[in-house]
Chains A and B, each alone.
Chain A
Amino acid sequence: MDSRVINSRATTTGRVGMKFWRRPLDTDKIKIPHGELHIIWERCKGCGFCVEYCPKEVLELSTEFNAKGYHPPVAVKEEECINCGLCEELCPEFAIFPVLKEEPEEAEEVKK
């Protein structure tokens, strides 16, 4: 198998994708969802998957220990959480999950 061919193809598509990257027409109308993070402190084993792969770098490993002696994550920039749920999907311990935060303006709009 020629892995170089596949590799180079992958990079080219990546570049082409970037070239046609443009601002979608409805960016001003799109609302970015926000999540509220729940971390089950004592269940976490401090693996760091959630910290490493959070696309918004919301999390950091705490300097404190939990009862098992691990460093669970803390949300240092929780306001930036976009409720993508990647931390929940990657967490091998079922110890972290975001919950969609209801935006106050949104609720009003629904009423109108």
Chain B
Amino acid sequence: MSTVEIVEVRGKVEKEHPMEKLLRMDRIPHIWCPTCGIGTAVKAFATALEQLEIDYNNVAVVSGIGCTGRVAGYMKLDSFHTTHGRAVPFAVGLAIAKPKMKVVVFSGDGDLISIGGNHFIHTARRNVDITVICVNNFIYAMTGGQVAPTTPILANSSTTPYGTFEYPFNLPLLAASSGAVYVARWTALHVRRLTNAFAEALQKRGFSFVEVIAPCSTLYARRNKLGDGLNLMKFYHDNSIIKHGADPREVDIGFQEKIVVGKFVDIEKPTYLDCLNDGYKRVFGDAYKVYGEEDE
């Protein structure tokens, strides 16, 4: 390489990236396409963990299948890569067996909401103390760009080549109406607010849900002739409306329409384990030993 600038820049890389302690470096560079937004969401999550100063031995990341499903494999934390759609049930088992552990599900829209949709709503209903991060790129990416339950009406996918005509899910509404105690949505461009949302969700007792709108450059953007991920980031910049406390019923997303982002729900409610303990105490009285209080 000839130019001075570059030699200089390359010569300076002797420091390691501050996030390397949280990543399995033998697997980096990751498989995500250039301008895909999943990496940015992972960076925000790692920053949130760092800011919270929690013991990394006490955090577990669970993913399902899909592009976002790779996250569990890249984080240097206790992590598990489950079968398609089963990230939430695995996480529920983990959260109940180890009540002190922060269990995070990091997966995509197709995995969590379509194939794992039933697990998602019932875990929210029972208010199990886990955090679910859903990277929503509006499409099944890894399997080849098929229509997802989040694909906006009119958007093109490999199974709807003339544009889809099905109603998509409104994820904040789905989570809130199923019983989630914390619901927020940000785009991959709102990195700082996204980091704060992750930190808040991690600290929340109960089922917390963060939707991350992220660009899929290779399938969603290209099939819909929207350019690449950078063009979608610019689109988010121009078309996001921050509206904290917005009614989740009013935050659905149309094809290339305004995206309402913000924190929509933040309430307190006894968790699944609280209810379980209360329920058994009611039946067995003092004979019942409260579960999840003692150190493991």
Query: A residues engaging B (CB < 8 A)?
Result: 1, 3, 6-7, 10, 36-41, 43, 45-49, 52-53, 62, 64, 68, 70, 74-76, 86, 88-95, 97, 99
Complex-state Cα separation, A36 to B258, whole angstroms: 37
B interface residues, Cβ below 8 angstroms from A: 1, 3, 5-6, 9-10, 12-13, 15, 17-20, 23, 28-30, 32-40, 42-44, 47, 189, 191-192, 195, 228-230, 233-234, 241, 243, 250-251, 258, 260
**B241 & A92 in contact (Cβ 8 Å cutoff):** no
**What are the residues of chain B within 8 A of A91 when measuring CB–CB?**
39-40, 43
| Residue pair B12, A89 in contact (C-beta under 8 Å) | no
CB neighbours of A76 from chain B (8 A): 5
29 interchain pairs, CB-CB under 8 A? A1-B251, A3-B241, A10-B241, A37-B12, A38-B15, A39-B9, A39-B10, A40-B13, A41-B9, A41-B10, A43-B28, A43-B29, A45-B29, A45-B33, A49-B233, A53-B233, A62-B5, A68-B29, A74-B6, A76-B5, A89-B44, A89-B195, A90-B40, A90-B189, A91-B43, A92-B32, A92-B39, A93-B30, A94-B17
The residues of A that contact B40 with a CB separation of less than 8 Å are 49, 89-92
B29 engages A49 (CB within 8 Å): no
> A6-B241, A40-B17, A49-B230 known; A64 and B3 CB under 8 Å?
yes
User: Once bound together, how far apart are the Cα atoms of A95 and B17, in whole Å?
Assistant: 7
Q: How far is the CA of A94 from the CA of B10 in the complex (A)?
A: 15
How many angstroms from the CA of A86 to the CA of B190 in the assembled complex? 10
CA distance A112 to B100 in the complex (A): 48
Determine if B44 and A94 form an interchain contact, defined as CB atoms under 8 angstroms apart: no
Q: Are B10 and A97 in contact (CB under 8 A)?
A: no
Closest to A41 in B: B10
In the complex where A3-B241, A94-B39, A94-B43 touch, is A46 in contact with B34 (Cβ < 8 A)?
Answer: yes
Q: Determine how close the nearest CB of chain B comes to the CB of A38; give it in whole angstroms.
A: 5
Supplied contacts A38-B13, A92-B39, A95-B17, 17 more A-B pairs, CB within 8 Å: A37-B12, A41-B9, A41-B13, A45-B29, A45-B33, A47-B35, A53-B189, A53-B233, A64-B6, A76-B5, A88-B18, A89-B43, A91-B40, A91-B43, A93-B39, A94-B23, A97-B18
- A64 to chain B minimum Cβ distance, whole angstroms, is 5
Report the bound CA distance from A48 to B28 in whole Å: 19
Residues of B within 8 A of A38 (CB): 12-13, 15, 17
Is the Cβ of B6 less than 8 Å from the Cβ of A86?
no
Considering the complex of A and B, which 9 residue pairs feature the smallest CB-CB distances, nearest first? A92-B39, A45-B34, A1-B250, A47-B35, A89-B191, A92-B40, A94-B17, A41-B10, A47-B34
A1 to B264, CA, bound (A): 15
* From A46, A74, A93, A97, contact of B29 by CB (8 A): A93
Instruction: With both chains docked as a complex, state the minimum distance between the C-beta of A23 and any C-beta of chain B, in angstroms.
Output: 25
A47 touches B20 (CB 8 A): no
Q: Which residue of A lies closest to B33 (CB)?
A: A45
Cα–Cα, bound, A45→B29 (Å): 9
> In the assembled complex, which residues on chain B have CB atoms less than 8 Å from the CB atom of A47?
34-35, 228-230
